[in-house]
Amino acid sequence: MKTADGRIRDAMRRYLISRGALAGGVLYRARGPLPRGEAPDGTGSRAPAMPAAGAGDPGEPAAPGVRPAATGTVVRTSPAGPRGAACAHGAQDRAGFTRDTRSSLQAGLFEPGAAAPPDLSALDLEGLRAEVARCTRCPLSATRTTTVFGDGDPRSRIVFIGEAPGREEDLQGVPFVGRAGKLLDKMLAAVGFDRSGVYIANILKCRPPGNRDPNEEETAACEPYLARQLELIEPAVICALGRVAGQALLGAGAPLKTLREGTHRYNGIRVMVTYHPAALLRNPNLKRDAWEDMKALRKVYDGTA
């Protein structure tokens, strides 16, 4: 089995080949589609089906209340795990790159712009969308069909964040439009949210080949876009869908079970974590716990928790 470093090197080679910068080389070998989301870790107990669309409290979200500034207390350590900490892909430097990627940058093998976070502070959402559409900060830009920026109401007080686009999303440029997306719509409706009234985005704006998990370089390269997006939307609550999204936002190596407990903060915004809909498709036994999560989320959103 290939190591993480080996996979990164392959992705770089593929990226360079796609840009005509390298003739030949080892082409990326997809290891077959990996299901998105975390491995089921449920109780195995009987779970009622997630209420059908339209069940629960219908109607629009509660009237907007006071929105906490996005510049509030920061409790995450970093979006992609503690910088400088030893990790599966090697120690990261302050820009979030491993030694491997750093030496590739120095050797000119990687998009040089990837080292410096872009200054996005003057961009509004449409400007940011355009910036994302031309992004080449990581090798996923070479394999994407289109970027997937986000969808829904940018004035929403709640934002749902998944992991990364899948095949359908990559084709359509819209998050959560495949099977997992249909289930997400039902999860939203079950607690009285309409998809058009919330905002939906992902940790990554580009699809990882074969739907593998985002790696740390990709997460770090994409994070400034999500951070600016959330700064502009200023939601009161974020719901992270699955372990990967939860860990990317909260910088934690914590298991999903722990992340699902209570509320957390990302740049001052309250964060709750629940299962990724794809995990619920794989293991319907998890739906009961997901339903409890969604009810708790709704209470926090309503300010009645």
Phi, psi (deg, nearest 5) at residue 221: -65, -35
Give the chain's length. Answer: 305
Contact status: 214 vs ligand URA (CB under 6 A): no
DSSP state letter for 36: S
Residue from 36, 137, 144, 282 touching ligand URA (CB under 6 A): that is: 36
CA distance 143 to 118: 21
Residue from 78, 147, 202, 215 touching ligand URA (CB under 6 A): that is: 202
CA distance 111 to 114: 6
Q: Measured from the CB of residue 245, what is the shortest distance to ligand URA in angstroms?
A: 7
Nearer to ligand URA, 36 or 89 (CB): 36
CA distance 123 to 115: 20
Contact status: 152 vs ligand URA (CB under 6 A): no
CA distance 246 to 239: 9
Contact status: 47 vs ligand URA (CB under 6 A): no
Nearer to ligand URA, 61 or 178 (CB): 178
Single out the residue of 198, 211, 206 nearest to residue 242, CA to CA: 211
Single out the residue of 119, 100, 120, 125 nearest to residue 110, CA to CA: 100
The residue behind tokens 């794989």 is 282
Contact status: 139 vs ligand URA (CB under 6 A): no
Per-residue x/- track, 178-197, ligand URA (CB under 6 A): x-xx----------------
Contact status: 293 vs ligand URA (CB under 6 A): no
H or E segment to which residue 239 belongs:
strand 237-241
Q: Measured from the CB of residue 254, what is the shortest distance to ligand URA in angstroms?
A: 19
CA distance 166 to 244: 14
Q: What is the CA radius of gyration of the chain?
A: 19
H-only helix segments in the chain: 4-18, 99-106, 125-133, 140-143, 167-172, 179-190, 216-233, 243-250, 256-259, 277-282, 287-302
Nearer to ligand URA, 165 or 192 (CB): 165
Q: Measured from the CB of residue 118, what is the shortest distance to ligand URA in angstroms?
A: 23
Residue from 38, 163, 185, 223 touching ligand URA (CB under 6 A): that is: 163
Contact status: 151 vs ligand URA (CB under 6 A): no
Residue 166 carries which side chain, given as an amino acid letter?
G
Q: Measured from the CB of residue 252, what is the shortest distance to ligand URA in angstroms?
A: 18
CA 194 centroid distance within chain: 20
| 206 close to 144: Cβ distance less than 8 angstroms | yes
Stretch binding ligand URA (CB under 6 A), from 100-108, 170-178, 212-220, 228-236 = 170-178
Q: Measured from the CB of residue 22, what is the shortest distance to ligand URA in angstroms?
A: 31
Residue from 150, 165, 214, 224 touching ligand URA (CB under 6 A): that is: 165
Q: Measured from the CB of residue 259, what is the shortest distance to ligand URA in angstroms?
A: 15
Nearer to ligand URA, 16 or 188 (CB): 188
Residue from 159, 164, 233, 250 touching ligand URA (CB under 6 A): that is: 164
Nearer to ligand URA, 36 or 228 (CB): 36
Contact status: 209 vs ligand URA (CB under 6 A): no
| 14 close to 142: Cβ distance less than 8 angstroms | yes
Q: Which residues bind ligand URA (CB under 6 A)?
A: 36, 162-166, 169, 175-176, 178, 180-181, 202
